A and B are shown apart, each in its own frame.
Chain A
């Protein structure tokens, strides 16, 4: 079983749609969670951290369910510019404060006009 699992998609949605991505992780000791965004042929960049209480940044909402070891990302009012691959990221087992991160395979989103 992979440490971080995501549905690879692709998710094809029209502009303005709401889309949700899910991710599960295997290590119950993980403490830090993130969503990174990667555009085609570019490097990954931090989109947002995921907090236990849930957090929102504009059209993006991230949630964490520790009991189910499940992370989600909701994008409202999708824009063409949201087309990218979204990587679910968890800090590695036993990594303490080292910040070793484990990346999921990514979920591809394509927003159509």
Chain B
């Protein structure tokens, strides 16, 4: 069974360019989370969705960041324009409110390592 899939795994871009990160959650999971991880700030929740609807975007740093979930199997996180301080690892995670497993357990994708020069 495939886990959470993220693409690309690595992204190097120049300041000012648009960056789009992609995520496919585990099939049947109804929650999807976007996180950012840096050495300085650790793992920060940016936004999460329930049944494709954004529930809490209070962690999104500024208007340059936007996220969408057009259907249950796909989500994007977009940064436009990108800045060097956006360099980080971006993780997508999903979870199910029903079924097996620990309640609240989130399954993480492998992450996208973003470098903005």
Contact = CB atoms under 8 A, between A and B. Distances in A.
A88 to B, nearest CB: 11
Interface of B: 31, 35, 42-43, 45, 48, 50, 55-56, 91, 95, 97, 102-106, 108-111
Question: What secondary structure prevails in chain B residues at the interface with A?
Answer: strand
A14 interface: no
The 4 tightest CB contacts between A and B, nearest first, are A43-B108, A99-B104, A105-B42, A103-B43
A36 to B, nearest CB: 9
B109 A103 contact: no
29 contacts: A32-B104, A34-B102, A34-B104, A42-B110, A43-B108, A43-B110, A44-B43, A44-B91, A44-B108, A45-B108, A46-B102, A46-B106, A49-B102, A87-B43, A97-B97, A98-B50, A98-B56, A99-B31, A99-B103, A99-B104, A100-B45, A101-B45, A101-B104, A103-B35, A103-B42, A103-B43, A104-B42, A105-B42, A106-B43
A106 B42 CA distance: 8
Contacts of A103: 35, 42-43
Interface string A89-109: 001100001111111111000
A77 to B, nearest CB: 24
Interface residues of A, number: 21
A101 B43 CA distance: 10
A32 B103 contact: yes
A43 B91 contact: yes
Nearest to A106: B42
A85 B84 CA distance: 26
